[in-house]
């Protein structure tokens, strides 16, 4: 896709420089591609003659702060505990939007992905425990529970662009509920020893975030300024600091100040003022009335957007194209050593692979079928059960959240490397299985029925 400047405007050097990035950012699969590239790079680095440098780089200490107020973590911890907080902030904003205006806002429509997500969390955890119960590895039962929403939706768009929109909505809602479940699991089961004093500070800062919301503060920077000490308080309390991102997401206002009618009326009034200028053919920046009209249009546009949507749009590109690939580069490097792929026969690896490849599609499909059968949920007419099975297979792509949880469960123990390798193998298998099921499912059910008629 080549860059083409607006008619009558020459291409500026900065336009030509930024065009590849803009094109990449607007492709749905760009984040997934970069994740794959980062993962392959991490594996190659960790198994190269320079494999010792892999751990040295990511375990190097790094202090951030001013004067006596400094926090020292390793580079990997800054990525996993710091930058990944922005990932959890984006996830929280997506959950909030789905609850307010998305699929999860309508009870009967929400019941199907909610039931499927619950089944898709319980079945993998149960299968993992079948392989690991009574062993030190059983603490990793949360690893195969979560779906990688970026990978799953990216592959759905790439492999089945003609699939019914309802399938994408189902998978997106399923993955969002799945992420919410993973967040709860992290908060309840994978946090450290609690510090009551730090928890009090964290609670006070949550109260301040709620107060900002109630007072009608709409500048995202106000919430982010409170969010920084809140992150530090959670980190000191023993609760995993990334949870701060989710709490912050629900504090940022999700409603707009104006309705659609008011927005259209204000735009029309200011456009009329802009057109009425005697200097319409001249540069707008030399005409005071035109400048004022443009300012008013800008204010109306900002007021018509919710602060949460502004934050999500700003962060989404950085999370998808920088933070998640960096996370993969820092965490996916598994040194196979002498054992090689033989570690995949160990109970924790078998538990992860069974949970993601088998537990996810079975749990998702069975729970969805039971919910429809019981009359609690309704399945869209354009979606077949094969589509549900295919979505369940794609739900087995655990990757980002699975790697995140395994780091919390096992740290740098040998079990962590075994689990990471199993995640990579299982996620690849789930993607291939999902691709095969999407091919079998084809397009919308109603389209095929019409064609047969």
Does residue 232 sit in the same domain as residue 281? no
**Do 179 and 328 fall into the same domain?**
yes
Is 145 a residue whose pLDDT tops 60? yes
374 and 419 belong to one structural domain: yes
22-26, 247-251, 274-278: least confident range: 22-26
Residues 156 and 227 placed together within one structural domain of the fold: no
Q: Does any domain span residue 33?
A: yes
236-251 average pLDDT score: 90
Q: What is the CATH number of the domain that holds 139?
A: 1.20.1530.10
Please indicate, yes or no, if residue 222 is contained in any of the structural domains: yes
- CA 162, CA 331: separation in Å to the nearest integer? 34
Shared domain for 176 and 42, answered yes or no, is yes
* Residue 113 domain flag: yes
Q: At which residue do the structure tokens 């291939």 appear?
A: 432
* pLDDT score for 155: 77
**Residue 148 domain-assigned?**
yes
201-210 tens-digit pLDDT: 999 999 999 9
Pair 353, 421 in one domain:
yes
Is the pLDDT reported for residue 289 higher than 80? Answer: no
Residue 177 in any domain: the answer is yes
Confidence of residue 338 (pLDDT cuts 50, 70, 90): low
Q: Are residues 163 and 51 in the same domain?
A: yes
| Banded model confidence at residue 290, pLDDT cuts 50, 70, 90 | confident
- Please report the pLDDT score of residue 362 as a whole number: 97
Cα–Cα dist 205/247, whole Å: 11
With a cut of 90, say whether residue 163 has pLDDT above it: no
Q: Which range of residues forms the domain containing residue 89?
A: 29-62+71-188+322-452
- Co-location of 286 and 385 in the same domain: no
Do residue 48 and residue 184 come from a single domain? Answer: yes
Confidence tier at 447 by pLDDT (50, 70, 90): very low
Residue 203 domain-assigned (yes or no):
yes
Rg (CA), the chain: 24
Residue 284 belongs to some domain of the structure: yes
> Does residue 255 surpass a pLDDT of 60?
yes
Total domains in the chain come to 3
How far from 135 is each of 221, 345, 415, 435, CA to CA, in Å?
A: 47, 15, 11, 35
Judge if 352 and 212 occupy the same domain: no
**154 and 290 fall within a common domain:** no
Reported confidence tier of residue 8, pLDDT bands at 50, 70, 90: very low
Give the global pTM: 0.77
Shared domain check, 80 and 225: no
In a domain, residue 410? The reply is yes
Closest CA to 29 of 128, 173, 161: 161
Please report which residue ranges of 279-359 form alpha helices under DSSP H.
288-304, 307-318, 324-331, 347-353
């Amino acid at each position: 896709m080549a860059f083409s400047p607006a008619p009558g405007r020459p291409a500026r050097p900065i336009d030509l420089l930024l065009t590849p990035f803009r094109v990449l950012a607007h492709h749905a699969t760009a984040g997934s591609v970069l994740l794959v590239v980062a993962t392959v790079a991490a594996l190659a680095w960790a198994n190269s003659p320079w494999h010792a440098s892999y751990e040295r780089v990511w375990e190097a200490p790094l202090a951030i702060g001013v004067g006596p107020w400094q926090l020292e973590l390793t580079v990997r911890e800054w990525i996993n505990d710091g930058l990944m907080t922005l990932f959890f902030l984006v996830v929280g904003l997506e959950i909030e939007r789905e609850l307010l205006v998305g699929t999860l806002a309508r009870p009967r429509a929400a019941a199907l992905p909610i039931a499927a997500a619950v089944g898709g969390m319980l079945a993998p955890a149960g299968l993992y425990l079948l392989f690991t119960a009574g062993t030190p590895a059983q603490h990793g039962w949360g690893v195969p529970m979560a779906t990688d929403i970026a990978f799953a939706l990216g592959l759905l768009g790439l492999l089945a662009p003609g699939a019914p929109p309802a399938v994408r909505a189902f998978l997106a809602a399923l993955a969002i509920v799945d992420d919410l479940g993973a967040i709860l699991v992290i908060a309840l089961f994978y946090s450290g020893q609690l510090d009551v004093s730090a928890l009090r500070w964290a609670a006070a800062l949550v109260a301040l975030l709620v107060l900002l919301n109630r007072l009608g503060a709409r500048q995202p920077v106000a919430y982010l300024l409170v969010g920084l000490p809140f992150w530090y308080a959670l980190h000191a309390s023993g609760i995993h600091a990334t949870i701060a991102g989710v709490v912050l997401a629900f504090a940022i206002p999700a409603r707009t100040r104006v309705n659609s009618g008011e927005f259209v009326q204000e735009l029309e009034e200011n456009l009329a003022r802009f057109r009425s200028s005697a200097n319409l053919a001249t540069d707008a920046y030399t005409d005071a009335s035109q400048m004022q009209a443009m300012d008013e249009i800008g204010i109306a546009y900002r007021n018509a957007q919710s602060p949460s949507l502004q934050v999500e749009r700003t962060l989404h590109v950085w999370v998808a194209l920088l933070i998640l690939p960096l996370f993969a580069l820092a965490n996916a490097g598994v040194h196979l050593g002498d054992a090689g792929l033989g570690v995949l026969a160990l109970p924790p690896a078998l538990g992860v692979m069974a949970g993601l490849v088998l537990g996810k599609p079975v749990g998702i499909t069975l729970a969805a079928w039971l919910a429809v059968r019981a009359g609690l949920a309704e399945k869209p007419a354009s979606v077949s059960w094969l589509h549900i099975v295919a979505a369940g297979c794609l739900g087995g792509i655990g990757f980002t959240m699975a790697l995140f949880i395994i780091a919390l469960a096992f740290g740098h123990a040998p079990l962590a490397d075994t689990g990471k390798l199993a995640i990579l193998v299982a996620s690849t298998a789930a993607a291939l299985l999902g691709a095969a099921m999407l091919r079998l499912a084809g397009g919308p059910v109603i389209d095929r029925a019409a064609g047969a008629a």
